[in-house]
A and B are shown apart, each in its own frame.
Chain A
Amino acid sequence: MKLRSALIPFLSALVVLALVTALYPPSDDFHPLNPQWNGMELVARDFKAFSARITDAYALDPLNHVLLIVGPSKPFTPEDARAVEAFLTKGGRVIVADDYGTANQLLELLGAPVRILPGVLTDPLLNIGSPHLPLAWWGPRRVALNYAAALNASACFDCRILADSSFFSYLDLNVNGKHDDGEPEGPLPIAISLRYGAGELIVVSDSSLFINSMINRESNRAVLEELLKGAQPVVIVDFWRETTFAAIKGGLTAVHRVLGSPEIKYSLAAAVFALSIREGRRLASKRE
């Protein structure tokens, strides 16, 4: 009796927790389901972006999809690079947006002569409120950046510079908020395009160009439209460090997927049905 009376509230708590976790949106950076300022729900909603694993790149149609590797914080393996390479070789377009330099590993594995420089791109004059939110020029368009870095494309002769920072900007290497001797001065490249096989590799030194709070700033949305060229963006989720909440949410999704398989789904329904009958009989006999 005691076990049963404790089990029901416990199971109820578990169900409520699972429901809330499933319904409550994640707050992870760049997550396509995150509607807060740091998520990418607007990209998911307006550009029909969806999440995928890097291995899915083998199966994606390169003509109709663009891979978005945004804000990676986990290391890349040769296996990951091969998946990206396969997509590029088939004529796909891959956008790598990173300001921490984690993606340098991928660029090295791909043999792309571009690197993301350390430091924070700072513009004390041309910005959207803070020197760390500088403005940059993407061709004739003005884009707003958020704690961006800069690119080193000096060894890349085939690279086309898509965007660069202003004349007043500099790369704050020691992040002390002022320009010191030896710190690179603007204009600095912040986005480049490189032919890779039949495809195109685009490297952007700011991971937050397309987050919810930035997508509608300046011409950021127009730039994304230009980069996608009508293709559907695929946000690669393998390289983010998951929060506990996101991990639980992911676990729930996995459980939901397993429960959705025909074997489990119908067995579960049969078991629930059987248990209902037994409970019904028990209650009837108790009444007698």
Chain B
Amino acid sequence: MSRSQWPTLILLLLVAVHATASPPRHVNPEEVAPGRPDPQVLSSVYSLLANLFSAESYGNASQLVNLLLNVSAAPDMAYVLRRFHEILGEVNDLLNLSRAYLEQAKRLAVAGRIEDSAALLSEAVKVLAKANLTRADLELAAREVQRRLGAQPAPLLRAVSELIARHSSEAADLGALGSLLSTELTVEVEPKSAWVGSTVRVTGKLTSLGSPLSSRKIAVAVGGSIVGSALTDESGSFTYQLRLPYVYRRSLAVGALYLPEANDARVYRPASNSTEIYLLYETPKLSVRVQPPVALPGDRVKIEVFADRPGLLVEVWVLHTIQRVNLKGETAIVEVEVPADASEGVYRVLAASTPNGTLGPASAEATLTVRKLDLKLNVTAPPFVALPFPARFTVCVEGWNGTPPNYRVKLSLAGASFEVESQQVCATLEATAPPLTPTGSSRVEVIVTPASSRYRPARAEAQTFIANLLLLIPAVGLLTPLVFLAKPRNRVETPHPSTPPLPSEPQRELEEPYSLRLKSADPVVNEYLIGLRMVEKATGVLLKPSHTISEYLQLVEPKLGEAAKLFATLSGLAEARLYGGLEVPPESAKALREQLCKLLGASP
């Protein structure tokens, strides 16, 4: 593979790795453009809104309109929708206001405050006029919604129109009330205070502009509910015997109501009045005590209830249960077991007596504290853990009385967890940290979960030092080259006996002999260099930069045979010339070199 192909391979590998990434499972909201709201859904919401308008449920209609103001749509449609919904909100508010004015005007009219009623009625009519005007805008906006989106707001428009018509009609009816004659109604109760369940007399008088109204029906109401009726006599007075209900409160409202019927409805206004009666009843004294006030899950506790009179029926609420008990004497005891799964905390214990006749209700409270016992933990961790060998940890558990309950121990060491169940005081775990845990200090966490719900789980920590021997294996592998490299370098450089002579090494053939790079202007030295190259050719021993002339001579002498003497003389002349500065005739050197040539059979 050529070098230019490697970048392509890298690129392909990268593409392959990234292409395998699974597609995301959610959508990118940036890539989503707001669309058109579903016209069918909008139509059904408008139908629902129409129903709310028809039922005059203004609060719910207002909430729905507020939601509609947030409808998501493309900007141009969003404007159309928003405009329509804003007008709907305005119409809803106006109709809500007109309803409030109308109701208040009616109440004032019934109370005989005709002028105040007329003022509110005038406000209601003004609001209705505004609503009527807004309806025109609403219809325009609705038409646009229908044209652009295809939604059907027609039922909504119908409902609004009907509602405006209904309010207008009520306002007209109320306006007619102004011509009716006012009525006055009084009411009294005798006695002013009475025992619950007893009978009292309710009396009163109905008049119109000072004249008594006879044979008119007066409804009597207690606490807002009509309980009976009476007819007025010639003097306009009425009497009603009222049996007081068994209601245990301080007072009760007793009212009388005149609602004109038949022809009276076109002549007289309605009238009403009320008074108050104080109620009498006995309240027993109750007290409650919890024994013991602090308990463990599974314990039984006694709830003692005391009363100042016998025969009471008492309900006891304790730990999410209700116990009913009839007090034969003045004391009753209820026994309950604290559930095994009860959480720790303070629980309210309530005793309440059931009312009976003139005996009213009573109650008393106490508290029950549920707690759990602590476990004492003692973790023994070895100071030193050698991986991959397992280490032994001992967890000793002590209960409140020294006897431990059955329990489960969970030990976490460097991310690995180990569990054991035990019934003994001490549990032993053999734990091994994950194989790639780095050497160093490590935290050991122990959680003990008792089988008994009477104890709360306990937690403890310890420290140990992990020495990971597994990580030493690659370290040894990496350091091995160092051992080999530490040996002397001549191990590499000393030629092996079987190693072929240097000239046969192709590497050497390629290299230029050092002697070829040597040049000299001195004719004697030059003759030596020519001779040297011939000797190198003949012996195969190359001159190295580190060699001196003598050193090289020593190396080649044994290989030169007869020529050794000639080369020794030539070397001596070169040395004398180079180092001694002696005068040497160049002809002598040349003659020696020529003889050497002949002997070695080589050409210069």
Mark A residues whose CB is within 8 Å of B: 6, 9, 12-13, 16-17, 20-21, 24, 26-29, 37-38, 53, 55-56, 58-59, 71, 79, 82, 86, 89-90, 124-133, 135, 142, 144, 146-147, 166-168, 179, 207-208, 211, 213-214, 217, 241, 243-246, 248, 254, 257-258, 260-264, 266-268, 270-271, 274-275, 277-278, 281, 285, 288
Contact = CB atoms under 8 A, between A and B. Distances in A.
30 contacts: A12-B6, A20-B14, A26-B21, A27-B21, A27-B24, A38-B24, A55-B412, A79-B417, A125-B38, A125-B41, A125-B45, A125-B67, A125-B70, A130-B27, A130-B35, A131-B38, A168-B45, A213-B28, A213-B30, A243-B21, A244-B21, A245-B18, A262-B439, A270-B479, A271-B479, A271-B482, A274-B485, A278-B485, A281-B489, A288-B545
Contacts of A9: 1, 3, 6
B468 A263 contact: yes
Contacts of B410: 58, 82, 86
Interface stretch (B109-117, B199-207, B424-432, B469-477): B469-477
Nearest to B60: A167
Contacts of A246: 21
Contacts of B28: 37-38, 213
Contacts of A248: 17
Contacts of B482: 270-271, 274
Contacts of A26: 21
Contacts of A79: 417
B29 to A, nearest CB: 5
A189 to B, nearest CB: 17
Lowest 3 CB-CB distances: which A-B pairs, in order?
A: A267-B475, A244-B20, A129-B32
A109 B6 CA distance: 52
A263 B439 contact: yes
Interface string B432-476: 000010110001010100000000010100000000100110111
A288 B543 CA distance: 12
Contacts of B563: none
A29 B438 contact: no
B26 A16 contact: no
Contacts of B478: 264, 267-268, 270-271
B445 A29 contact: no
Interface centre among B26, B29, B32 (most CB of A within 10 A): B26
B67 A166 contact: yes
Contacts of A132: 27
Contacts of A261: 438-439, 468, 471
B544 interface: yes
A13 B10 contact: yes
B34 interface: yes
Nearest to B81: A125
B10 A167 contact: no
B17 A21 contact: yes
B38 A267 contact: no
Nearest to B544: A288
Contacts of B24: 27, 29, 37-38
B30 A133 contact: no
Given A58-B412, A258-B436, A275-B481, A125 B68 contact: yes
Contact of B20 (A20, A243, A254, A281): A243
B155 interface: no
Interface residues of B, number: 63
A89 B457 contact: yes
Given A82-B410, A267-B478, A270-B479, A128 B29 contact: yes
A285 B468 contact: no
Contacts of A147: 25-27
Contact of A133 (B32, B45, B481, B492): B32
A168 B41 CA distance: 8
A262 B38 CA distance: 65
A246 B17 CA distance: 9
A211 B26 CA distance: 10
A89 B436 CA distance: 30
A263 B20 contact: no
Interface centre among B24, B68, B412 (most CB of A within 10 A): B24
Nearest to A130: B32
Contacts of A168: 41, 45, 67
A246 B22 CA distance: 10
A58 B29 contact: no
Interface centre among A24, A37, A166 (most CB of B within 10 A): A37
A159 to B, nearest CB: 16
A266 B35 CA distance: 62
Interface in B466-508: 468, 471-472, 474-476, 478-479, 481-482, 485, 489, 492-493
A268 to B, nearest CB: 6
Interface string B295-331: 0000000000000000000000000000000000000
B42 interface: yes
B475 A55 contact: no
Given A20-B14, A130-B32, A274-B482, 10 more contacts: A37-B24, A125-B38, A125-B72, A128-B72, A132-B27, A207-B26, A263-B439, A263-B471, A285-B492, A288-B544
A147 B29 CA distance: 11
Contacts of A260: 438
A26 B42 CA distance: 42
B13 interface: yes
Given A55-B415, A125-B71, A167 B64 contact: yes
Contact of A274 (B18, B22, B443, B481): B481
A245 B14 CA distance: 9
Interface centre among A38, A124, A135, A285 (most CB of B within 10 A): A124
B221 to A, nearest CB: 39
B212 interface: no
Given A29-B24, A277-B485, A263 B472 contact: yes
